[in-house]
Structure 1
Amino acid sequence: MNQLNMLKKMTDVVIDTGDIELIKKYCPQDATTNPSLILNSLNSPFYKRIINNAIKHVINKNMSYEDKIINASDKLIVNVGLEILKIIKGKVSTEIDARLSFNTDMSVKRARNIISLYEDSNISRSRVLIKLAATWEGIQAAKILREEKIKCNLTLLFSFAQAKACAQSKVFLISPFVGRVYDWYLYKKLIKKDISYSDPGVLFIKKIYNFYKKHNYKTIIMGASFRNVNQILSLAGCDKLTISPVLFEELKNKNFEVIKKLKNKYKNKNHKKPSFISESMFRYEHNEDAMAVEKLSEGIRQFSMDQIKLEKFLISNFN
């Protein structure tokens, strides 16, 4: 049995791509998308049809040009999600415009629009996760959406403060970024390349995992943004892991034994939950983590730029 199949026996495996053919190839339980992943696939023949559909959805509507761009963009990412849901059995994560990362009300509004587009195509909201940046405002948006039975995936998560706030707000799922944590420490020359026993990204996930299990938080942990197979295998047993197609293939081609590394040692034990983290405490604790501050800001900027590129691409196809 290859490592990918062994891993699937202890962890839900998710594919991190917008490439439909690769999703068909690997048959994951769930899939995640974002503007960056969609941009990488736009030139494929498959995307031409769903791009035209997104433009047709808004072109004759009585709305401002700006609203047409926003709605065409939402329709495009939903169209991608719809195609993915034809293949997978589980859920697809669909990302909110990162430029709204510090606006709770607008994040909620866009999430509702995306869910309505899915439901117009007869897809239950239970099969969609709305991806939001794990800012304070994003976490508050997730709390509001939870009351409407809209589940969220809080992404760009780099600090323990973010993880605590998400758990206490009963967020459905978080995506801590293993590889980007590793990148920061490597760039700062605080670690050596290709370490395994003390990889800071791996240790970050383990810390969150033990904290959640100890205090019986139900929020799902989905490790993301891996740089190598060793990082993945070091987190075997995590609730979920979202993996790029390149690393999927590497796991598929190896037959070495996979050992479960994360185990819930707190099962059936009652531990008092810690005090609720306030907004001021959240901001202070997050600010104390230089890596988290830098990587969250960088991630929001990157996703925002890719969202703008996506919109420009749609505009170029309007006429």
Structure 2
Amino acid sequence: MINVDVHQHLWTDSFVAALRARTEPPFLDGWTLHTAGEPPYEVSPADHDTARRAEQAVADGLGRALISLSSPLGVEWLPSAEARPLLDAYHEDAAELPRPFGAWAAAGVRDIDTEATAGYLDLGFAGLQLPANALADAAGYARCAPLLDLLQDRNLPLFVHPGPAADASLRPGWWPAMVPYVQQMHAAWFAFRTFGRPRHPQLRVCFALLAGLAPLHGERFAARAGAVAHRQTDPNAFVETSSYGPRAVEAITRALGTPTIVQGSDRPYADPPQTPGFGLGGAAAYAFRIANPRRLLTGKA
């Protein structure tokens, strides 16, 4: 009976040091982040102060806050020799975070290494996060199938998070979050239905940022896909609410129902909702924060 936030980010000392040790994107120059697809970004050190963030989580009433690797950095897409120091640093520190934190494991998607991923999961991670642009088509699901098999065999969930944006250096700073990230999640939602679910029938999966609002396109999907579109309900496909408010959440609730929506905040890049249940009532608040996260993470009602 604990409140859960399934989506936060927290850069630990070892991960920061690993980013600063690099000279090619992604890397940190002091607290200035450089990535391949976005303008330089000034990171706030206070946002990644573990003690401060733990206090915030307690103030939010959370019993558990799951930390995830920042997939837009592109770590998972690096060659294994470059990715491994960053992944090791992330997992070693994330596994030791104090309560109420837990974490999602991460894995390279350019060079699949199920043995390394199994070792990370052995440290007690909640499940595995993969970038959405690695799961956008049949080829992506074929490449990542060994990782998804590993999760299904261990009865652990998958968290799909936006990956690196295409070059947005000449666009406004908000562009990646509003266009490439949303497009990736939209594609990942439909790709999972088409390629992922048939091969992994028992896998529990959660899509960040309400799957880019892809579930709202059910009417258009029905018009184009016919009978295929009527298989809309998937009790093991969840969406989380990060950066959205009452209007979007209510619309998704109408499309999917309450049981597959879970609370995620994307802190420190967005704040948790001020109204539990997004104004939909106490039953919705209980479902989003307690009952649904429990089913996502454990498979148990």
Q: Normalised by the size of structure 2, how large is the TM-score?
A: 0.47
- Looking at both structures, which has the greater relative contact order when contacts are Cα pairs under 8 Å and sequence separation is at least 6? 1
Normalization by structure 1: what TM-score?
A: 0.45
